[in-house]
């Protein structure tokens, strides 16, 4: 019976040349909220050495329009090279738009940096700056990394425009390990649409003739892919990742910079491993946000116990966000495997259904494992089994800036909240790593309780001010909603009043 079930599943999922059958295609389309677009060419890009020259070359050849969407755009030697290239194109009459996340670029670039580009003709916008009427609006960030040029080529990646991705060879600091793709073909229209939505959210609207339609872009290859432009609460990547974990039959290899999986996703990985799927996860050994790293380690045990293999990168920082399943399906982009990316942020990923591209990503994953240490279960907690990497591969110092990791801090807070809730409610067994989180939470709550008893105003006053701020924000939001509804009613064409019916004539 089990053999028949597997054969039936293979028949449902596997079509000619490794393509997915319509049954699985429809499920993936609905889960991701993105259609499968064919006729593209896709090139895998690894690290700064392959990303930045290709991006700058495309910008320098732009003839019509350039769109840049960046979580971090730094005022450093690399950032200034990009700024100069964009400014030169703007002075040449090309429509150049740059959308940077306000918090991601905070401390990375000042107003003078953006002003210089604006004076050159670049249209610069900041995504989601603080607003008085939105006390918690800062939580959702534009975490995308996107460049689109002329509707002909697009770059989707985890790489930010900052010098640290190039490293510093003079000081022995390695480049950050990261992954992206260069796309040519009709799917570039979907990249334009994703940018247009974020641009509108930042206060502007693209002209009606932008973005271009898929039909106006010629085929450039035979690769089919989905552009998943996630917005807050849409959860397209989360639903798709869950489905892929359920569909995978042989392999599921994942690289993630800030892995803090939810209970549902962890269970999906556990179930796949229990069913014989080779599930592997590659994460940083050293992270630019060590709190999230500790929370990630706290979730290792249930995965390891189910047969999931976990590896830690032994370089300066691995920042890639990618996955490959069964040598047939692959995902590359900006989304980390945590609730911040899945639910709160604006993210951009591509899911590629092509055996050649999947094989290339698998080869890259295997190469990365040669510089990783496998984590195995010890008697009490996971421990690292040392494996020497190739010669001349120093780990390098810990990254000094936590800016990129800040986009996932909400996921860490949720993980801590789940651990505390489980300890209070007794809903599940806590591991040793999570018990340490509970101890920290107990100490913090004890200090808060003591402050409330001895100095009640110390916390009561800030809480009252925050409540007043929230009330003001809600009132402003309600007023805006009512005004928008009134404008919509006024814009509707008024229906002509029906003419009164003629009175019936009575016989006789």
Catalytic residues: 143, 145, 150, 319, 321, 326
Residues 298/433, Cβ–Cβ less than 8 Å: yes
| Strands 309-313, 322-325: pairing kind | unpaired
User: Hey, what are 159's tokens?
Assistant: 């790489």
Q: What is the DSSP string of 89-111?
A: HHHTT-EEEEEEETTTTTTTS-H
Residues 225/350, Cβ–Cβ less than 8 Å: yes
The three state secondary structure string of 18-31 is HCECHHHHHHHHHH
Separation between Cα atoms, residue 388 and residue 386, nearest integer Å? 7
Closest C-alpha to 66, from 173, 146, 128: 146
Separation between Cα atoms, residue 244 and residue 266, nearest integer Å? 13
Separation between Cα atoms, residue 61 and residue 86, nearest integer Å? 11
Residues 342/235, Cβ–Cβ less than 8 Å: yes
Rg (CA), the chain: 26
What is the DSSP code (8-state) at residue 417? H
- Burial code (b: 16+ CB inside 10 Å, e: under 16) for 395-408 equals ebeebeeebbbbbb
Q: If residue 37 lies in a helix (H) or strand (E), which one and from where to where? A: strand 37-46
- Burial code (b: 16+ CB inside 10 Å, e: under 16) for 54-91 equals bbbebbeebeebbbbbbbbbbbbebbbebbebbbbbbe
Q: If residue 373 lies in a helix (H) or strand (E), which one and from where to where? A: strand 372-377
């Amino acid at each position: 019976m089990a053999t028949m079930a597997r054969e039936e599943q293979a028949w449902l999922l596997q079509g000619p040349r490794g393509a997915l059958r319509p049954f699985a295609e429809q499920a993936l389309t609905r889960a991701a909220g993105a259609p499968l677009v064919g006729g593209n060419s896709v090139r895998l890009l690894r690290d700064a050495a392959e990303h930045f020259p290709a991006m700058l070359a495309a910008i320098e050849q732009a003839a019509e329009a350039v769109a840049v969407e960046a979580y971090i755009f730094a005022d450093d030697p690399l950032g200034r090279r990009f700024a100069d290239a964009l400014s030169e194109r703007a002075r040449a009459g090309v429509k150049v738009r740059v959308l940077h996340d306000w918090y991601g670029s905070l401390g990375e670039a000042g107003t003078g940096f953006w002003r210089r580009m604006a004076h050159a003709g670049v249209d610069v916008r900041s995504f989601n700056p603080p607003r008085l009427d939105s006390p918690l609006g800062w939580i959702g960030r534009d975490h995308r990394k996107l460049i689109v040029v002329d509707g002909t080529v697009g770059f989707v990646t985890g790489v930010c425009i900052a010098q640290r991705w190039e490293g510093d060879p003079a000081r022995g600091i390695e480049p950050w390990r990261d992954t992206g793709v260069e796309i040519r073909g009709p799917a570039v229209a979907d990249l334009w649409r994703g940018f247009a939505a974020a641009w509108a959210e930042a206060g502007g609207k693209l002209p009606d003739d932008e973005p271009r339609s898929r039909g106006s872009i010629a085929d450039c290859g035979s690769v089919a892919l989905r552009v998943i432009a996630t917005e807050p609460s849409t959860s397209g990547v989360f639903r798709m990742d869950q489905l892929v974990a359920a569909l995978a039959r042989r392999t599921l290899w994942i690289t993630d910079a800030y892995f803090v999986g939810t209970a549902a996703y962890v269970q999906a990985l556990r179930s796949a491993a229990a069913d014989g799927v080779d599930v592997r996860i590659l994460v940083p050994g050293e992270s630019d946000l060590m709190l999230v790293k500790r929370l990630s380690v706290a979730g290792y045990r249930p995965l390891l116990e189910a047969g999931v293999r976990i590896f830690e990168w032994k370089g300066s920082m691995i920042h890639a966000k990618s996955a490959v399943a069964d040598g047939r399906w692959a995902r590359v982009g900006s989304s980390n495997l945590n609730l911040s990316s899945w639910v709160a942020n604006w993210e951009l990923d591509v899911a590629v259904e092509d055996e050649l591209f999947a094989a290339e990503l698998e080869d890259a994953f295997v190469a990365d494992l040669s510089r990783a240490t496998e984590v195995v279960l010890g008697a009490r907690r996971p421990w690292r089994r040392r494996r020497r990497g190739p010669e001349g591969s120093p780990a390098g110092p810990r990254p000094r800036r936590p800016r990129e990791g800040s986009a996932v801090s909400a996921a860490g807070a949720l993980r801590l909240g789940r651990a505390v809730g489980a300890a209070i409610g007794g809903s599940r067994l806590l591991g040793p790593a999570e018990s340490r989180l509970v101890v920290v939470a107990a100490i913090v709550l004890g200090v808060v309780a003591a402050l409330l008893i001895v100095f009640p105003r110390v916390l009561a006053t800030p809480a009252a001010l925050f409540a007043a701020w929230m009330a003001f924000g809600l009132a402003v939001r309600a007023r805006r909603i009512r005004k928008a509804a009134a404008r919509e009613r006024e814009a509707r064409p008024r229906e002509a009043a029906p003419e009164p019916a003629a009175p019936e004539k009575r016989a006789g």
